[in-house]
Amino acid sequence: MNGIDRAAIDACYEQALKSCNEGGLPIGSALTRGDAIIAVGHNRRVQQGNPILHGEMDCLQNAGRQTSYRDCTLYTSLSPCMMCSGTIVQFKIPRVVIGENSNFGGNEQFLRDHGVDVEVADDPRCIELMARFIAENGALWAEDIAD
């Protein structure tokens, strides 16, 4: 991982922590173009009562309208669900860096099958925060992943 990768994963973690402190799910996201973070977001499904406001979706919404995402990288503290993975493919985002996928194995293969370069950072802060959340909030986690 390069410097912008580390900065963006740090931003994801900070956004995940912010969401957790607000009573939401600890999932954060960042979008970069070149060496700049152009947007961040976090899961606000609980806070806003919006079932599709996952961290990646909030980040993309915060980025506003972009003419293209083909030169962007999307970062997420947790492996993306199918909804977010579909959005990544739809917007033709070429690269995704995942903070961790040990607590939730998302759709890495789906992304790869659609030409997305996927990297997993195995960030210990992201792993610990999500594991603690799942242990303490099992029903809310099950609701979020429609389990």
**HSE-up (13 A, CA, CB side) for residue 83:** 12
Percent pLDDT > 90 in the chain is 90
Distance CA 26, CA 88 (A): 20
Model pLDDT, residue 66: 96
The tens digit of pLDDT for each residue in 12-37 reads: 999 999 999 999 999 999 999 999 99
Please check the confidence at residue 48 and state whether its pLDDT lies above 90. yes
Please check the confidence at residue 106 and state whether its pLDDT lies above 90. no
φ, ψ at 43 (rounded to 5°): -60, 120
Model pLDDT, residue 70: 97
Sheet holding 36-42, edge to edge: 36-42, 28-33, 72-76, 95-98, 117-120
Query: What's the pTM value of the predicted model, to 2 decimals?
Result: 0.96
Model pLDDT, residue 140: 86
Please check the confidence at residue 120 and state whether its pLDDT lies above 90. yes
Identity of the residue numbered 95: R
Active site residues: 56
Across the range 2-7, mean pLDDT stands at 94
Identity of the residue numbered 29: S
Which residues does 85 contact at the CB level (< 8 Å), separation at least 6? 106, 107, 110, 111
Please check the confidence at residue 47 and state whether its pLDDT lies above 80. yes
Quickly state the pLDDT bin for 78 (edges 50, 70, 90).
very high
Identify the helix (H) or strand (E) that includes residue 36. Answer: strand 36-42
